[in-house]
Structure 1
Amino acid sequence: MRYISTRGGMTPQPFSETLLEGLAPDGGLAVPEQLPQVDAETLERWRALTYPQLAAEVLGLFATDIPREDLARMTADAYVDFPDAVVPLRSIGDGITLVGLSEGPTLAFKDMAMQFLGQALDYVLERKDQVLNIVGATSGDTGSAAEHALRGKDRVSVFMLSPQGRMSSFQRAQMYSLDDANVHNIAVEGVFDDCQNLVKKLAGDLEFKRAQHLGAVNSINLGRIAAQVVYYFWAWLRVTDAVEPEFRSGFEVSFTVPSGNFGNILSGFFAKGMGVPIRRLVLAANENNVLDEFFRTGVYRPRSAADTHATSSPSMDISKASNLERFIFELVGQDPSRVADFFRSIDEQGFVDLSAEQPRFEAEFGVVSGTSTHADRLATIRSVHEASGEIIDPHTADGVKVAREFLETDVPMLVLETAKPQKFAETITEAIGVELEFSAELQRMLAAPQHVTEMADDEQALRAFVAANALH
């Protein structure tokens, strides 16, 4: 299995090289030359596996350059701090099941991929005798998951950009309370898209990237996408455990995915392409509904920082979704020149009109979408709590609200849980009047001194900071 760039300018390379590369040298994103395929017989063989064992099997289809026994050791170590089930499924009524992705150390779904990525980067860097300086951007949960997965590692340093004043107080504390020497938090004046733009500018300067040994842990890193594919397989297997064996093959489920940077739902798109019987992939947006507009109309119109709303589901406050490029690559028949045309249209006129292709989104790829607002998520948190006793976070509430619009008889609807509600306690209190309890460990984290460097939206200032603090 080898990987190419969506922009067509990268020599095919193995999985381990894409882990270190992050953004491709031509500015594109790494994608498989072709997706691996999994048949019904293999799915049945995987049914009895634990989550770490399943992860080794699925990731082994992507990381063919890493010995399977090494992958198995990495996945076992990655999920050691999770409960035995790792990803529990639980019903909340109305035909909706939550896929519990927030059992990891930072209480968010990003741990599912980031804990593996931390193991994989360590493994590859050790064998190459290299160091890596991660420059990433976060709208809330990616940063803490990356920092907790990579803190204290000798060969990796993390420079994590976050938008000033745009995250919850819990998210800020979870990142900024870390005082490890290899973790550098940078609060940028602006929104997430400004942070992401800065990351891409540094990664696009190949001379600087090579000199400073830069890499990425955002979902532009193919390793993140591959690791997230695993839980789509796992969720389908767990749902169909209750189905009579003769009816399991081809038994379809739908997934609803709260979406910001399009990475999580892209992993579902890959899983569907690999053979998981997925009927629909339902994209749930918040008020920053650029992606919903695109999938409903075919018109992609990114917003400026000034037009990007600060919402109560802040991890989705994104108006330029990096991973959409991987979907566009498939939409245009894997033609790099058409991908370039897509971005050229945005640069020249601020939007792209693909309305002629829009019917294919659901018919061919199974992707539909919807939008949720602050009032919607409060009402959804309230209704789920009243019906099931479950308390869900605001992003998961966006997912449940939109999932309800696409329920189908005899097609289970699975909503990917985004985070534990404690990360957004103020919104939970507003919705149901409950003051959430925090463990003694979380209370210490919230009260701990915070370590962060504030910075203007300034590429040169960031370059200087990275150069002064990078590992070499």
Structure 2
Amino acid sequence: MRYISSRGQCPAVDFETAVMTGLAPDGGLYIPSTFPRLTEGDLKRLQDASFVEVAATVLKPFVTPSLDEQELEAMLDKAWESFRLDTVTYLRPLQDAWLLELFHGPTFAFKDVALQLLGHIFDHFLAKRQRSATVLGATSGDTGSAAIAGCRGRKQLRIVILHPHERTSLIQRRQMTTITDANVTNLALRGDFDDCQAIVKELFGDPVARNEYGLTAVNSINIARVLAQMVYYVQSSVQLWKRFGQAIDFCVPTGNFGDILAGHWARVMGAPIGRLVIATNQNDILSRLFEQGRYETDEVSQSLSPSMDIQVSSNFERLLYELGQGDPHWVRTQMTALYKNGGFSLGEAATDKLRRGFAAGRCDDTQTLAEIKKTFVNDGVTLDPHTAVARAVARNHQTTAPMVILATAHPAKFPGAVQKATGQPPTTPQALKQVLDGEERFEVIEANAQAVRAVLQGLSTATKLG
């Protein structure tokens, strides 16, 4: 498999280079040059397969020849050992839908699924190259703790995570900042997630900084993140396809567009997936896109679902490449307009294509609280605010097809919202209780690349001196 940049101004690369580079040298995002197809025989075989077995089938064509079959299987056997369920994920029936629980990993969020695997991939390639690297990432809440959990204590990795100061939940922050491994650095930026993400992209776009600090990416700009997330779409869709004999719809709480893009790519591979419904909170750039055919940023509004408090959805650029018929010049034109003017119009043809494969809806904080209460009363299930956004939006997009709602975080990570909605706090696992007692370690800095660069320089100097 070869990977091409969405902006088309650098050579195609193999899986190893795409993963270790993160962002393409021209500022674009790596995309598979082709998508292998799952045969009908594959789909039937995978109906009763384990998560690891599904992962091996789905991922093998994307990692070859950078990883051989034995190397991939060895990583997959280890990747999800820390999960509380042997099945990794869990499909929970609701009265009129299904809940795909993705929060049974070490940090109680869906990002553990991909990031536990990514840590092993980094280790393998760094050992092969006999060098170390600095993982630089931005988080709106859950990516940071999941990335740290996947990278902490690894001898050849240093990890630096940027989060928006006072814009995550208490537990989300403390899951990052109470980790005291020597290779972990947490930076709280005086800004929002879009500021954090923009700084990461700026530093990756600077070849001097990238080489001097040995930067690699952990956000969903890293192609491995999106590929790994395809696995649970394939597994859940074939399981329900066996039961219902028809394509399965999915509703996904969406901020940076990586998770729902994974669902789309699984659909392109031939998984029995029907519509993909994008669920946004009041930071509704994606739902407005469906209404107006225009992608236009606005001010970020703090919400009860902070991981979705995003205006610039990085992974949408990967879909943009597809909507533009694989024309990188068109993608560059649209992205330039976004950076210079704050938005761009898709055009009639691209908008029509988008609407054929996706739908979208919006849910504000009042509706989120109402949905948490409704599901709690009707189904006896407690939802976190992000999942509640998707549950509420899904109600407006249900057809005769089975609907799966992605449950992306454990409700105990957002106790304030749950208690406000239901009148009682969620049950808190012991592992989450412990983070409330640990000593925090993080630095508050200004939201600019110069401030982050100074921290990276200090870490680099300290390592050399050591």
Residue 86 (structure 1) shift: 1.1
Q: Does 1:379 find its partner at 2:392?
A: no
2:375–2:382 Cα contact (<8 Å) kept? yes
Alpha-carbon distance in 2 for matches of 1:457, 1:443: 30
Structure 1 residues 349-391: Cα deviation after superposition (integer angstroms, max 9, x where no partner) = 322112413222122xx11100001111111111111111100
Q: Does 1:17 find its partner at 2:17?
A: yes
- Give me the CA root mean square deviation: 1.2
Aligned position for 1:265: 260
Alpha-carbon distance in 2 for matches of 1:182, 1:130: 15
- Partner of 1:80, secondary structure, is coil
Residue 468 (structure 1) shift: 1.5
Partner residue of 1:286 out of 281, 288, 295:
281
Aligned position for 1:52: 52
Q: Does 1:458 find its partner at 2:448?
A: yes
- Partner of 1:56, secondary structure, is helix
Residue 119 (structure 1) shift: 0.9
Structure 1 residues 49-94: Cα deviation after superposition (integer angstroms, max 9, x where no partner) = 2101211221112101211111111111111122122111011212
Residues 157-306 of structure 1 aligned to structure 2 (within 5 Å): 157-243=158-244, 248=245, 251-303=246-298
Residue 440 (structure 1) shift: 3.8
Q: Does 1:423 find its partner at 2:413?
A: yes
Aligned position for 1:86: 88
Residue 336 (structure 1) shift: 0.7
1:297–1:355 Cα contact (<8 Å) kept? no
Unaligned runs of 5+ in 1: none
User: Residue 241 of structure 2 aligns to which amino acid in structure 1?
Assistant: T
1:296–1:358 Cα contact (<8 Å) kept? no
Residue 276 (structure 1) shift: 1.1
Aligned position for 2:436: 446
Residue 46 (structure 1) shift: 2.2
Q: Number of paired residues?
A: 459
Aligned position for 2:330: 338
User: Residue 447 of structure 1 aligns to which amino acid in structure 2?
Assistant: D
Aligned position for 2:156: 155
Aligned position for 1:437: 427
Alpha-carbon distance in 2 for matches of 1:412, 1:137: 34
User: Residue 327 of structure 1 aligns to which amino acid in structure 2?
Assistant: L
Percent same amino acid among aligned pairs? 38
User: Residue 88 of structure 2 aligns to which amino acid in structure 1?
Assistant: V
Alpha-carbon distance in 2 for matches of 1:109, 1:234: 15
Structure 1 residues 110-151: Cα deviation after superposition (integer angstroms, max 9, x where no partner) = 001001101111111111112110111000000000001100
Residues 395-434 of structure 1 aligned to structure 2 (within 5 Å): 395-409=386-400, 411-434=401-424
2:279–2:389 Cα contact (<8 Å) kept? yes
Alpha-carbon distance in 2 for matches of 1:327, 1:208: 28
Alpha-carbon distance in 2 for matches of 1:87, 1:440: 20
User: Which TM-score applies when normalising by structure 2?
Assistant: 0.96
2:241–2:248 Cα contact (<8 Å) kept? no
User: Which TM-score applies when normalising by structure 1?
Assistant: 0.95
Alpha-carbon distance in 1 for matches of 2:301, 2:341: 22
Relative distance call for 1:382 and 1:68 in structure 2 (3 A) is: same
Q: Which moved more, 1:227-236 or 1:69-78?
A: 69-78
Structure 1 residues 418-471: Cα deviation after superposition (integer angstroms, max 9, x where no partner) = 100000000000000112233444322111110001100121121111122146
- Partner of 1:276, secondary structure, is coil
Residue 45 (structure 1) shift: 2.1
User: Residue 222 of structure 1 aligns to which amino acid in structure 2?
Assistant: I
Residue 343 (structure 1) shift: 1.4
The list of structure 1 runs, each at least 4 consecutive aligned residues, that deviate by more than 6 angstroms after superposition, is none
Aligned position for 1:108: 109
- Partner of 2:9, secondary structure, is coil
- Partner of 1:319, secondary structure, is coil
User: Residue 168 of structure 2 aligns to which amino acid in structure 1?
Assistant: M
Alpha-carbon distance in 2 for matches of 1:440, 1:47: 34
User: Residue 110 of structure 2 aligns to which amino acid in structure 1?
Assistant: F
Aligned position for 1:38: 38
Alpha-carbon distance in 2 for matches of 1:155, 1:420: 31
Residue 241 (structure 1) shift: 3.4
- Partner of 1:241, secondary structure, is helix
Aligned position for 1:362: 355
Q: Does 1:137 find its partner at 2:138?
A: yes
Structure 1 residues 15-35: Cα deviation after superposition (integer angstroms, max 9, x where no partner) = 111110011011000001111
Q: Which moved more, 1:73-82 or 1:322-331?
A: 73-82
Residue 346 (structure 1) shift: 2.1
Aligned position for 2:313: 321
